[in-house]
Amino acid sequence: MINWIQLEPAIVPSKPFDKYGCWSGSATILPGNKPVILYTGITAKRPKPGYQVQNYAIPANYSDPFLKEWVKPDDNPIVKPTYENVSSFRDPTTAWFNNGHWKMIVGSKHNHRGIAYLYRSRDFVKWTKAKHTLHDKSDTGMWECPDFYPVSTCGTNGMETSTLEGGIKHVLKVSLDATRFEYYTIGTYNTVKDKYVPDNTSVDCWAGLRYDYGNFYASKTFFDPSQNRRILWGWANESSTALEDITKGWAGIQLIPRMIWLHPSGKQLVQWPIHELESLRGDRLYQNDVTLSKGEMLEVNGITVAQADVEVTFTFSSLDEAEIFDPQWSKLPPENLAMEICGIKGTKQGGLGPFGVLTLASKKLEEYTPVFFRVFRTWDNKHKILMCSDATPSSLNQDVYKPSFGGFVDVDLAKKKLSLRILIDHSVVESFGEGGMTVITSRVYPTLAVGRNVHLHLFNNGTETITVEKMNVWSMSSPHDLFLNSKLNQKPFDNPKNFHHRRCFDTLLPPPFRRKHRTFCRLRRRLRRLHFLLEAICRQLSRKRNGMSFVLEVPVNLFGCQQSQHNLVSYSRKQRCLFSMSAKLNTPSIQSLDEKHLAHSNAVVLPIMVNSCMGKMGQAVVEAGVSAGLHIVPASFGIQKDAGKTIQVGGKDIQVHGPSDREATLASILEEYPNLIVVDFTVPNAVNDNAKLYCNAGVPFVMGTTGGDRDLLYKTVDDTKLYAVISPQMGKQVVAFLAAMEIMAKQFPGAFSGYTLEVTESHQATKLDTSGTAKAVISCFQELGVAFDLDQIQLIRDPKQQIETLGVPEEHLNGHAFHTYRLKSPDGTVSFEFQHNVCGRSIYAEGAIDAALFLSKKIQSKADKKIYDMIDVLREGSMR
């Protein structure tokens, strides 16, 4: 959810039913893990903004992990307007299943009444409109991007969209075209009548609750089963001028995904940035117990804050200074009340507040974006807490839209405490008040407060003294680094034809010139890489959000190349990013980078070569490596008959090299990638030769291939003192089981003396050897006192038997590993049975990537130990 790779658009106008546009839609996962997208197609330009129908699309290839290609079947459109408003009939939701039917809603309006039309289908293709709407509301205008989903009344866990019973409430969110804000209600879905009724605590109109009181629109939620959570993802439009957008070449950004759940009061939702974001946290500053009297500011010094994650808890000793809530304000439009008061009051001096954070501030405060609280007291002695994100002073540029956004925070002030979390990202300020009770996003375009000229202050401009109970500020790294680095490394190499041409042909030179020539080649390569890196960054900046840390730590005078310098300067000005010299080195870090971050930065630069990409495991490892952001070297060793072939794996072209030129090829790759790691999943009889090859070349490696002469394998590596991870089993949970067995054997040797053991292992028919994992487990049983010869292992390779007696799913005949160990006491009265059954390859492929990252860390830290197994990797917490 943090590192994304840009792929080609999945759905583009191409058929009569979407000729003039493919607009918003939603995905639903049908049984069998089959995703389908419902989306709005525009079939005619008139009536404006277009004639709207609903279509469906399905993946062209379900086994493609990226689902890159989508088919739009010719029986589209599946929902056509009948008497609905044909130009306001769009944005189908994710469907839910109820009473034998799939159901979904389409947003619309009739006159000025907002409508969620309900549709039902048994087969997802033939849809019938329900006689009544799911819900509608007068005076709200067009409902765009509706979203309808269950939330748990107890706890923060998300609910699958089709969950209709248990302790749940439902949420209906709509994006109001008329106001360009979103509002939601919490209510009850009557599954018999198929009707949604908002609770009476939910205001159902423009003045209703908002996900975000700032620049946030067209959001969608989805259920993430891997972490049992519902994620909200919204879009923020630019507030800059159209001309600037055109210059940038892009407009609009997706904000940081947020987890969303129902507050225990049942009256509102709560949001919080997904925890994965924390992997980008870098240097940290911590402060506690600092008081801020009226007019005082505290500057956060020592770390870069153009991209930062800020968490502050403010306390105060009394509510007495709270300002009076002006009765005149009751005349203001209720839907914009908070925003209006923020505009009127701003950061002007108050009583209890304004206090908060000045983000994106220039040195002399010509520009800053304050995010703050102000507490008011109403005539009936209640407190109203206003939270503001005020773009008015954010930029000296007069042409950009600089609204002062605001929302009320519904919390009890008994503890006299308020907290704020702010995610700052150059042109984006996302603020979460009181643990996500109120959220406001601003887009801002400073002209002076850019890059390293950005300052951050805590401030108080109220008469009540405020204490900063605790404050954490982290500099944030760029998720795009992964993408950039892989692009960079691909640049000359991706075309396999260039592969050989990049080598230095120094053997053609007389010996005295060779060394100089090599040095020259090395320098030229480095410069070229730097050049590509800059180009990639600048290209990236010109396409993507004004966001997340594009601080390049390179002394500018390294560039002999005029063109690069020119690009550098012009892009940096336009995109407000700074290419600084070693920013991190110059800034003292209060807390050093944590382990997680280190693992991440490893991932940024690690190139891996996968042998053999032709095999099942090889392919799975490439895909896992691509997902983890590693650089896949576009070359792989295979057998002679495949030599010279170029194969496509994980979206990469990889050239297969036969046995003849391995040494030279490996040396040349190593020259390009000095921190190369090889991952080997080949065949048992290649294990020893391959290990020798890697050892001779001095390339650290991960050996997943089983079989071969294992003693010789360890000896070869040991002799050359090379770093390697060697393990017949890379699947995290199986490794844990193996570790437990080893511990048991060590702790209680002989505990199973006299027991008999029966072992069966079933694998795909193409597996050439006996399970290496079974052998490892058996060696533990042997230490536990069980007499067992490895040739007693029963191998099952017959697909019929695998299906009929073991229940191997048919689709996994080609890749499964079922193991059973049965122990029986001598008198037959006690028995044990252990099983580990794995279908598919991804569990091992993920483990292999973990092993490569682990190895790279060991190499960097010059660890004494050189040869590791997966239990070492697991034990050090390096398996995801």
Ligand X SMILES: NC(=O)C1=CN([C@@H]2O[C@H](COP(=O)(O)OP(=O)(O)OC[C@H]3O[C@@H](n4cnc5c(N)ncnc54)[C@H](OP(=O)(O)O)[C@@H]3O)[C@@H](O)[C@H]2O)C=CC1
The secondary structure of residue 192, as a DSSP letter, is: T
One of 26, 239, 682, 802 touching ligand X (CB under 6 A): 682
766 binds, among ligand LZUJQKHR, ligand X, none (CB under 5 to 8 A by kind): ligand X
Nearer to ligand LZUJQKHR, 538 or 759 (CB): 759
Residue 658 interacting with ligand X (CB under 6 A): no
3-state DSSP call for residue 604? helix
Nearer to ligand LZUJQKHR, 316 or 681 (CB): 681
Residue 686 interacting with ligand X (CB under 6 A): yes
Q: Which positions from 746 to 775 touch ligand X by CB under 6 A, shown as an x/- string?
A: --------------------x---------
Which residues have CB under 8 Å from 770's CB, separation 6+? 707, 761, 790, 793, 795
3-state DSSP call for residue 10? coil
The secondary structure of residue 211, as a DSSP letter, is: S
Residue 705 interacting with ligand X (CB under 6 A): yes
Residue 485 tokens, joined: 């680095």
Binding to ligand LZUJQKHR (CB under 6 A): which residues in 807-826? Answer: 817
Binding to ligand LZUJQKHR (CB under 6 A): which residues in 688-727? Answer: 706
One of 684, 698, 785, 840 touching ligand X (CB under 6 A): 684
User: Which amino acid belongs to residue 358?
Assistant: L
| Cβ at position 733, least distance to ligand X in Å | 12
Q: Which positions from 842 to 871 touch ligand X by CB under 6 A, shown as an x/- string?
A: --x---------------------------
User: What burial class does residue 160 get, using C-beta atoms within 10 Å of its C-beta: 0-12 exposed, 13-18 middle, 19+ buried?
Assistant: middle
Q: Where are the beta strands (DSSP E) in 625-739?
A: 631-632, 635-637, 646-649, 652-657, 677-680, 701-703, 724-726
Residue 839 interacting with ligand X (CB under 6 A): no
Beta-carbon neighbour count of residue 574 at 10 Å? 15
Beta-carbon neighbour count of residue 334 at 10 Å? 14
Nearer to ligand LZUJQKHR, 351 or 772 (CB): 772
Q: What angle do CA 386, 391, 392 make, to 5 degrees?
A: 100
Nearer to ligand X, 488 or 730 (CB): 730
682 binds, among ligand X, ligand LZUJQKHR, none (CB under 5 to 8 A by kind): ligand X
Binding to ligand X (CB under 6 A): which residues in 577-636? Answer: 611-612, 614-618
| Cβ at position 768, least distance to ligand LZUJQKHR in Å | 8
Residue 736 tokens, joined: 């844990």
One of 108, 486, 729, 760 touching ligand LZUJQKHR (CB under 6 A): 729
Nearer to ligand LZUJQKHR, 296 or 769 (CB): 769
Residue 427 interacting with ligand LZUJQKHR (CB under 6 A): no
Nearer to ligand X, 106 or 679 (CB): 679
| Cβ at position 772, least distance to ligand X in Å | 6
Phi-psi region of 92 (alpha: psi -120 to 50; beta: other; left: phi over 0): beta
490 binds, among ligand X, ligand LZUJQKHR, none (CB under 5 to 8 A by kind): none
| Cβ at position 766, least distance to ligand LZUJQKHR in Å | 8
Paired sense of beta strands 96-98 and 113-121, if any: unpaired
Nearer to ligand X, 480 or 732 (CB): 732
Residue 763 interacting with ligand LZUJQKHR (CB under 6 A): yes
Residue 504 tokens, joined: 């230095």
One of 602, 727, 760, 856 touching ligand X (CB under 6 A): 727
H-run or E-run covering 674: none
Residue 760 interacting with ligand LZUJQKHR (CB under 6 A): no
Residue 802 interacting with ligand LZUJQKHR (CB under 6 A): no
H-run or E-run covering 693: helix 687-697
Residue 60 tokens, joined: 């062209």
Q: Which residues pair with 763 in a beta bridge?
A: 817
Residue 701 interacting with ligand X (CB under 6 A): no
Nearer to ligand LZUJQKHR, 347 or 771 (CB): 771
Q: What are phi and psi of 431, to 5 degrees?
A: -120, 135
Q: Which stretch binds ligand X (CB under 6 A): 20-28, 132-140, 223-231, 703-711?
A: 703-711
Q: How many angstroms separate the CA atoms of 672 and 113, rounded?
A: 64
Q: Which stretch binds ligand X (CB under 6 A): 43-51, 124-132, 268-276, 678-686?
A: 678-686
Q: How many angstroms separate the CA atoms of 343 and 351, rounded?
A: 17
Residue 597 interacting with ligand LZUJQKHR (CB under 6 A): no
- For ligand LZUJQKHR (CB under 6 A), the number of binding residues is 9
Q: How many angstroms separate the CA atoms of 262 and 270, rounded?
A: 6
Beta-carbon neighbour count of residue 149 at 10 Å? 26
Q: How many angstroms separate the CA atoms of 212 and 218, rounded?
A: 11
483 binds, among ligand X, ligand LZUJQKHR, none (CB under 5 to 8 A by kind): none
637 binds, among ligand X, ligand LZUJQKHR, none (CB under 5 to 8 A by kind): ligand X
Count CA atoms within 13 Å of residue 837 on its CB side. Answer: 13
| Cβ at position 452, least distance to ligand X in Å | 46
Nearer to ligand X, 326 or 653 (CB): 653
The secondary structure of residue 158, as a DSSP letter, is: B
Residue 836 interacting with ligand LZUJQKHR (CB under 6 A): no
User: What burial class does residue 55 get, using C-beta atoms within 10 Å of its C-beta: 0-12 exposed, 13-18 middle, 19+ buried?
Assistant: buried
Q: Which residues pair with 170 in a beta bridge?
A: 150, 187
The answer to whether 654 and 631 have CB atoms below 8 angstroms apart is no
**Residue facing ligand X at closest CB distance:** 615
Peptide bond just before 700 cis, omega within 30 deg = no
One of 767, 821, 851, 878 touching ligand LZUJQKHR (CB under 6 A): 767
The answer to whether 35 and 28 have CB atoms below 8 angstroms apart is yes
Q: Which stretch binds ligand LZUJQKHR (CB under 6 A): 326-334, 656-664, 764-772, 827-835?
A: 764-772
The answer to whether 520 and 548 have CB atoms below 8 angstroms apart is no
The answer to whether 47 and 87 have CB atoms below 8 angstroms apart is yes
Binding to ligand LZUJQKHR (CB under 6 A): which residues in 768-787? Answer: 771-773
Beta-carbon neighbour count of residue 386 at 10 Å? 26
| Cβ at position 706, least distance to ligand LZUJQKHR in Å | 4
Q: How many angstroms separate the CA atoms of 694 and 677, rounded?
A: 10
Q: How many angstroms separate the CA atoms of 129 and 80, rounded?
A: 10
Q: What are phi and psi of 107, to 5 degrees?
A: -80, 145
| Cβ at position 815, least distance to ligand X in Å | 7
Q: Which stretch binds ligand X (CB under 6 A): 356-364, 482-490, 698-706, 854-862?
A: 698-706
Q: Interface with ligand X by CB under 6 A: which residues?
A: 611-612, 614-618, 637-639, 642, 681-684, 686, 704-707, 727-731, 766, 844
Q: Interface with ligand LZUJQKHR by CB under 6 A: which residues?
A: 706, 728-729, 763, 767, 771-773, 817
